[in-house]
Amino acid sequence: MNNVELELKLNADLELVPQRLYAGFNLLYEPEGTHDPDHVGAGWEKESKGGVSAALAYRITSSVLIGAEAWYLRHYDGMWFNSFTGDAVYVGPTLFVQIAPKMFIAAAWNVQVHGSEVDDPGAHLNLAEFSRHRAKLKVAVEF
């Protein structure tokens, strides 16, 4: 199985209280194509996701920020948001630790709290197109 995916994000950050409280916003576009060469005559299955997020982070020490974020994601068949298939809402905590002047760790864990599928509009969660949990761990070193 061959899979090609591209994640494009537009990020914006805002300092609400100097050196203490921050807000962040994201826009997401993620086209994806999957091809199974074992299925003769099968073409590429194309899909896309779009979404927005908002987050708040509070500096508890000079090098540690804790916060919360919320994501709203939509899933489509087709690369350009062609046919809507469902959506999901995630919320969860975030953590940022500045280990050294040029090294940090960022972590986030989100849980799907609401979602819907076009094929099952009565469902409370959308587990067909989205996972129940999302986690991110980023370690960055600049040299």
Q: How far apart are CA 46 and CA 110, in angstroms?
A: 26
The residue to which tokens 């040299």 are assigned: 143
DSSP state of 124: S
Decide if 12 is inside a domain: yes
CA distances from 24 to 41, 55, 88, 129 (A): 45, 5, 20, 25
Decide if 109 is inside a domain: no
Decide if 15 is inside a domain: yes
Which alpha helices (DSSP H) does the chain contain, by range? Answer: none
pLDDT in the model for residue 75: 96
**Count of the separate structural domains present in the chain:** 1
pLDDT in the model for residue 87: 96
Decide if 51 is inside a domain: yes
Structural domain boundaries enclosing 29: 2-55+68-91+114-134
Q: How far apart are CA 34 and CA 27, in angstroms?
A: 23
> How does pLDDT run along the chain (143 residues), one tens digit per residue?
788 999 999 999 999 999 999 999 999 999 999 988 777 667 889 999 999 999 999 999 999 999 999 999 999 999 999 999 999 999 999 999 999 999 999 999 999 999 999 888 788 899 999 999 999 999 999 99
CA 141, chain centre distance (Å): 22
